[in-house]
Structure 1
Amino acid sequence: MLTQLRKDNPLIICITNDVVKNFTANGLLALGASPAMATEHREMEEFLMHAGALLINIGSIEESHKENILKAAEYANKHNVPIVLDPVACGASKFRKAFCLKLIHEYNISVIRGNASELAALTGEASMKGTDADATLSTDIVARNAYNTFKTAIIVTGEVDAICQDGRMHLLKHGTQLLTKVTGGGCLLGAVVASFIYNEIKPSLALLTEAVATYTIAAERAEQSANGTLPGHFAVNLIDQLYCVQEDDIAKELHVKEV
């Protein structure tokens, strides 16, 4: 799919965290997608008529943003554009959680991607300190519970990434802790997933696995590159590796377990 993505250069609409817009846009450009950080609902339908996917990341959500996001979800559903929801820090406040649940229950969301604490908060009463994830939570258990609750594709990231779709689950152990030392490490993954699933309202487990693996293997290579163990260099290296990584690299290095 990576080769086809680069050939098609899909337009990905990113409603995302103010802190990560530049990093996300550069990451998608390096990968081969075409990002647009459009947010105004009065022009959203025109953008979405040509888009491959919509990312909704609530990282810097405010009350004034809600109308734009809800209209974007409405237009995406109208034009059969897949939506990736990143429920950033939804366990940190009732405001965030309620808004995410409204999106999930009232619109067709193709993929929900978050850390274990975020997904646990959506399905129960887990709380969070900001965006931090609880390392004691099992990503596979959280992913299975979220899938059974919402009946849509789930990606739970952590030391082991869990991907659940159609009742099946893949576990991946790729990536690096340095992704937690760079603002937007998780946010960019949501955008990468959106790029891979363009035009796929119900993406396959294999497609979602390739998306996550491409990103996390690129992150491993970024860490191994010059000065990659330093957060600043790692961030730049990650953009470079998203540009350089090939399908053959993923096929050779991928280790996936189905449970």
Structure 2
Amino acid sequence: MRLNEIRKDNPLIICMTNDVVKNFTANGLLALGASPAMAEAKEEMDAFLSVAGALLINIGSLHPSRVEDMREAVKYANKHQVPVVLDPVASGASSFRKEFCLNLLNDFDISVIRGNASELLALLEETTMKGTDSRTDLNNVEIAKRAHEIFGSAIVITGEVDTIVQDNRVALVKNGTSLLTKVTGGGCLLGAVVASFVYNKVKPTLEDLTEALAAYTVASEFACKLPNGTLPGHFAVHLIDQLYEITEDDIVANQRVEEV
């Protein structure tokens, strides 16, 4: 399994992410056992990515001034064979976001796309979103399969049941809690966790991705059970603590995973 490897190797994860979630993301990765760096300047991407384990591109705070920095980061990640995780936050909310993601997917190799069903659907069709909200009437498995076929990347769609597609195999992860939607950055941190679990693997396996989702969602369930864990503020702190304490045995004993 990968969790113990992360804690042994302490991989450097470059996180170009949402301004709102940088602190939460960094603390989550430190608790997990990875080494986060919120480097953003294109002038230093070659140096950082020559030693990094993975790169996260999260477009939550996308701005024209960041477009070239992100593209340069992905270029150097490809150069150094560093896996790239793309989180297309609210990709259906504006043509600016959607076009940036589609151009990135067309021009570079992206190892994993992680988003909700509405975000992935927006990359596949002419559809719109209200901010980051995801529709609940979508067939996540079919959307994930289509995205995997079109983009060639591993696909992770998160929701009440998380859907993973890689190498034309499909896994469902049925752990988690709705409190992850009540904390700013719950999904964004997951993108960084996924990046940690696929470090040094440009082509991650379905098992790598399933372990990442299971580790995060099982930790979220443990967090809910702690004192005041059903309150969003306490839950956010408990989640960081549980990412620090969770073990591979905890994941194996508590994951509810089905390959379909």
TM-score by length of 1: 0.99
**How far, CA to CA, are the matches of 2:91 and 2:99 in structure 1?**
8
Amino acid at match of 2:52: A
**How far, CA to CA, are the matches of 1:126 and 1:139 in structure 2?**
15
The sequence identity of aligned pairs, in percent, is: 65
The alpha carbon displacement at 1:151 in A equals 1.5
Task: Say whether 1:84 aligns with 2:85.
Answer: yes
The correspondence of residues 52-201 of structure 1 with structure 2, limited to 5 A, is 52-201=53-202
**Corresponding residue pairs, total:** 259
The correspondence of residues 43-54 of structure 1 with structure 2, limited to 5 A, is 43-54=44-55
- The residue aligned with 1:2 is 3
**How far, CA to CA, are the matches of 1:100 and 1:141 in structure 2?**
20
The alpha carbon displacement at 1:138 in A equals 2.1
* 1:112-159 CA distance string (max 9 Å, x none): 000000001001122110001101112212111111111110000000
Cα RMSD (Å) = 0.6
**How far, CA to CA, are the matches of 1:83 and 1:214 in structure 2?**
20
1:85 is paired with a residue whose SS is strand
* 1:174-208 CA distance string (max 9 Å, x none): 11000000000000000000001000000000010
Amino acid at match of 2:253: K
**How far, CA to CA, are the matches of 1:78 and 1:149 in structure 2?**
23
* 1:64-95 CA distance string (max 9 Å, x none): 11110000000000000000000000000000
**How far, CA to CA, are the matches of 1:138 and 1:185 in structure 2?**
22
1:12 is paired with a residue whose SS is strand
* 1:8-46 CA distance string (max 9 Å, x none): 000000000000000000000000000000000001111
Gaps of 5+ in 2: none
**How far, CA to CA, are the matches of 1:126 and 1:155 in structure 2?**
19
TM-score by length of 2: 0.99
**How far, CA to CA, are the matches of 2:133 and 2:43 in structure 1?**
34
Deviating beyond 4 angstroms after TM superposition, the runs of 4 or more aligned structure 1 residues are none
**How far, CA to CA, are the matches of 2:107 and 2:146 in structure 1?**
20
- The residue aligned with 1:256 is 257
2:129 is paired with a residue whose SS is coil
- The residue aligned with 2:223 is 222
* 1:203-256 CA distance string (max 9 Å, x none): 000010000110011011111111010000000000000000000000011121
